[in-house]
Amino acid sequence: MSTISFIHAYIGLPLFAFFASLLLKKRQESALSILSYSTAGLQLGLVLIYGFFWLKGGSNPTQFKELSVYSSENYEFFIDFLVDKLTLVFAFLGASLSFLITIYSRYYLHREEGYKRFFNTILFFNLGYTLIIFSGNMETLFIGWEILGVSSFLLIAFYRERLLPVKNALKVFSVYRIGDIGIILAMWLLHHLWHANVTFTEMNANVSMNHHLSNATGIGLLIAFLFYVSAAAKSAQLPFSSWLPRAMEGPTPSSAIFYGSMSVHIGAFLMLRTMHFWEQQVVFKIFLIAAGLLTALIASAISRVQSSIKSQIAYASIAQIGLIFVEIAFGWDNLALMHILGNAFLRTYQLLISPSIVSHKIREQLYQNSSPLELKDSYWQQTIRRLYILNLKEWNLDLLLYRSIWNPLKRIGRGWKILNFQYVFWVMAVVLIVGIVLRLNEAQFSAQLLHQLPFFFAFWGFLIAVKAFTERDSVRKSLTLIMFNHVSISLALSFNEHFDNAHHAWYLSGIVLSWAIGYLLLTRMRKTEWISLDNFYGHIYEYPKTGFVFLMVCLGLSGFPITPSFVGEDLIFSHIHLSQVGLAFFTAFSLVINGLATMRIYARVFLGPHIKTYHQIAKRSS
Q: Tens of pLDDT along 161-215?
A: 888 889 989 998 999 988 899 999 999 998 888 877 888 888 877 655 666 666 6
- Whole-number pLDDT of residue 389: 84
The answer to whether 341 and 89 have CB atoms below 8 angstroms apart is: yes
The answer to whether 536 and 164 have CB atoms below 8 angstroms apart is: no
- Whole-number pLDDT of residue 309: 83
- Whole-number pLDDT of residue 218: 83
Mean pLDDT of 441-447: 71
Using DSSP's 3-state secondary structure scheme, residue 477 falls into helix
- Whole-number pLDDT of residue 360: 61
Mean pLDDT of 540-554: 91
- Whole-number pLDDT of residue 369: 46
Rounded (5°) CA angle 342-174-421: 170
Determine the Cα–Cα distance for residues 397 and 334; give it in Å rounded to an integer.
32
pLDDT band of residue 368 (cuts 50, 70, 90) is very low
Name the residue type at position 30.
S
Closest CA to 559 of 593, 528, 527: 593
Determine the Cα–Cα distance for residues 399 and 280; give it in Å rounded to an integer.
35
Rounded (5°) CA angle 376-379-380: 120
Whether the pLDDT of residue 376 is over 60: the answer is no
Range name among 116-130, 209-223, 283-297, 369-383 with the lowest pLDDT average: 369-383
pLDDT digits (tens, 9 = 90+) for 463-507: 888 888 888 888 988 898 899 899 999 888 888 877 778 888 889
Residue 81 DSSP class: E
- CB-based contacts of 112: which residues, under 8 Å, 6+ apart? 118, 251
Task: Please state the three-class secondary structure of 133-148 as a single string.
Answer: HHECEHHHHHHHHHHH
Closest CA to 114 of 596, 521, 547, 514: 547
> Could you tell me the sign of the dihedral formed by the alpha carbons of 471, 475, 476, 482, in that order?
positive
How many residues would you count in the chain?
A: 622
Whether the pLDDT of residue 295 is over 90: the answer is yes
Domain ranges of the chain: 1-156, 199-359, 416-606
Whether the pLDDT of residue 113 is over 50: the answer is yes
pLDDT band of residue 549 (cuts 50, 70, 90) is very high
> Could you tell me the sign of the dihedral formed by the alpha carbons of 554, 557, 560, 561, in that order?
positive
Range name among 223-237, 259-273, 448-462, 582-596 with the lowest pLDDT average: 448-462
Residue 68 has φ and ψ, to the nearest 5°, of: -100, 110
Torsion, Cα of 414, 415, 418, 422 (10° steps): 30
Q: Which long-range contacts (CB under 8 A, 24 or more apart) does 142-147 make?
A: 142/183, 142/184, 142/187, 142/570, 143/79, 143/561, 143/566, 145/180, 145/183, 145/230, 145/234, 145/266, 146/180, 146/560, 146/561, 146/566, 147/561
Whether the pLDDT of residue 91 is over 90: the answer is yes
Average pLDDT, the chain: 85
- Whole-number pLDDT of residue 66: 84
Closest CA to 303 of 289, 288, 314, 294: 314
Mean pLDDT of 131-147: 92
Determine the Cα–Cα distance for residues 534 and 377; give it in Å rounded to an integer.
48
- Whole-number pLDDT of residue 438: 78
Mean pLDDT of 610-616: 72
- Whole-number pLDDT of residue 359: 61
Determine the Cα–Cα distance for residues 457 and 582; give it in Å rounded to an integer.
11
Determine the Cα–Cα distance for residues 222 and 213; give it in Å rounded to an integer.
12
Q: How far is CA 359 from the centre of its chain?
A: 34
Whether the pLDDT of residue 375 is over 50: the answer is no
The answer to whether 515 and 557 have CB atoms below 8 angstroms apart is: yes
- Whole-number pLDDT of residue 294: 95
Closest CA to 134 of 264, 285, 237, 13: 13
Whether the pLDDT of residue 256 is over 90: the answer is no
> Could you tell me the sign of the dihedral formed by the alpha carbons of 534, 536, 542, 547, in that order?
positive
Mean pLDDT of 317-324: 94
